[in-house]
Chain A
Amino acid sequence: QAVLTQPSSLSASPGASASLTCTLRSGINVATYRIYWFQQKPGSPPQFLLRYKSDSDKQQGSGVPSRFSGSKDASANAGILLISGLQSEDEADYYCMIWQSSASSYVFGTGTKVTVL
């Protein structure tokens, strides 16, 4: 089982909201982790969107619109990236990441491909 699992794809209409989940493996408590989110468009390097641990411990990437926001679902042991007011330019792959101190390593999620129909 992967440390971080993301749905492989998600489709939504322009103007809608999209909720991307990043589920942590059982035994890894989402409450203790900062969740980092990245956007990657074809042929380009990833871009940092935001990191979220709590409402008092969060950081938005430079120039990243406020319609990108982070949260957590403790009951699902998941981090969430919410994209409000979807735009065609939001079509991209999205990756979550954590720093796993027990392994002294960063771990990326499996990635979600977002399509704006």
Chain B
Amino acid sequence: EVQLVESGGGLVQPGGSLRLSCAASGFTFSSYDMNWVRQAPGKGLEWVSYISSSNYTIYYADSVRGRFTISRDNARNSLYLQMNSLRAEDTAVYYCAREFGTTWGQGTLVTVSS
């Protein structure tokens, strides 16, 4: 069964940092591009970042560029999102998604508040 499981969310103060992880199983992780997508409470979906299967190509949304870093470890079947300089508007459920969204994890909630 194809599965994505996010972890690492929690409550953090403005200006703080968090590292999200996404553990993949049930498919050949190294063959797939991956994305992070977030959803603020009661709001719509917002794409955050993309990384190609080989780590070679990376893209970010303007709202997070310079603060967030996407990475992956194909040997560990894992995707990561390092989030620095967090702001209240980064509060959201963060999902990892395979390719353009063929499979999604259940999400992990990040709350930025003092």
Report A's interface with B, CB cutoff 8 A.
36, 38, 40, 45-48, 51, 61-62, 93, 95, 97, 99, 104-111
B45 x A108 contact (CB < 8 A): yes
Instruction: Give the number of residues in B that approach A within 8 Å (Cβ atoms).
Output: 19
A48 contacts across to B, CB distance below 8 A: 100-104
Interchain residue pairs with CB less than 8 A apart (21): A38-B101, A46-B37, A46-B45, A46-B101, A48-B101, A48-B102, A48-B104, A61-B102, A62-B102, A93-B44, A95-B45, A97-B45, A97-B100, A106-B35, A106-B47, A106-B50, A108-B45, A109-B44, A110-B44, A111-B44, A111-B45
What are the residues of chain B within 8 A of A46 when measuring CB–CB?
37, 45, 95, 101, 104
Asked if A106 and B107 make an inter-chain contact with CB atoms under 8 angstroms apart, the answer reads: no
Q: Which residues of B contact A38 (CB under 8 A)?
A: 45, 101
Contact B101 A36 (CB under 8 A): yes
| Residues of B participating in the A interface, judged by any CB pair closer than 8 Å | 35, 37, 44-47, 50, 59, 61-62, 95, 100-107
Instruction: Tell me how many residue pairs across A and B have CB atoms closer than 8 Å.
Output: 53
* Residue of A38, A46, A93, A106 most packed against chain B (CB within 10 A): A106
